Amino acid sequence: MINQLEFATLGGGCFWCVEAIYQAVEGVQSAVSGYAGDTEDKADYKTVCTGLTKHAEVVQIAFDPNVVSYAELLEMFWIAHDPTTLNRQGNDVGPQYRSVIFYHNEGQKEAALQSIAQVAPEIWDNPIVTQVVPLETFYKAEDYHQNYYNNVGDRNSYCTFVITPKVSKFRKKYAHRLKKA
């Protein structure tokens, strides 16, 4: 019997970082980079990077809830980025890099609010600024953004200095939750 997949859509700064982290998690079938958060009928990297749209860089995660729960994905989310900085992750600045949870249903909304109230404060001392909003539309990012870290890795200095340390820290903490080679 094939388990029904669920979806989570999370924005934690640069989608390359978020995608690289969740791709390695057991129970995650796919992690797709994209854009969400605006009412525009399309989104593309050049436009979103201006910071003039309401889109955020996000990753849409297809996961098996019998292997990894939505609550676990949210706990990983708090570890994977800084949810206490408004419209910023490190040197990436602008509303497109905001911390945001786009919920797919009321259950996810309640889980997100509970996680913000109970889990995130155990990890972070400063107030959590993560938005929790309904997902209206997800736009898949351009093909060259998909699987970016795995394809480019340390051949890109941004990956070397920003993504690799985050991925390494994450994989060390969650070694028991990673896909087997």
Query: What residues does each domain of the chain span?
Result: 6-177
What phi, psi does 46 have (nearest 5°)?
Answer: -60, -45
The answer to whether 179 and 26 have CB atoms below 8 angstroms apart is yes
The answer to whether 144 and 113 have CB atoms below 8 angstroms apart is no
The answer to whether 53 and 63 have CB atoms below 8 angstroms apart is no
CA separation, residue 174 to residues 80, 114, 115, 118 (Å): 11, 21, 18, 20
pLDDT of 181 higher than 80: no
The predicted pLDDT at position 39 comes to: 80
CATH topology of domain 6-177: Peptide Methionine Sulfoxide Reductase; Chain A (3.30.1060)
Local confidence band at 1 (pLDDT 50, 70, 90 cut-offs) = very low
The predicted pLDDT at position 3 comes to: 67
Q: What is the mean pLDDT of residues 162-176?
A: 92
Output the six-digit token pair for 36: 């969400």
Active site residues: 14
Q: What is the mean pLDDT of residues 164-181?
A: 92
Q: In the beta sheet, which residues pair with residue 7?
A: 62
What phi, psi does 112 have (nearest 5°)?
Answer: -65, -45
pLDDT of 120 higher than 50: yes
Q: In the beta sheet, which residues pair with residue 47?
A: none
Q: 3-state class of 169 per DSSP?
A: helix
Least confident of 2-6, 24-28, 54-58, 102-106: 2-6
What CA–CA distance (Å, rounded) separates 97 from 49? 9
Q: What is the mean pLDDT of residues 47-60?
A: 92
What CA–CA distance (Å, rounded) separates 51 from 29? 30
Least confident of 53-57, 86-90, 95-99: 86-90
The predicted pLDDT at position 102 comes to: 98
pLDDT more than 70, % of the chain: 98
pLDDT of 140 higher than 90: yes
Q: What is the mean pLDDT of residues 35-44?
A: 87
The predicted pLDDT at position 2 comes to: 57
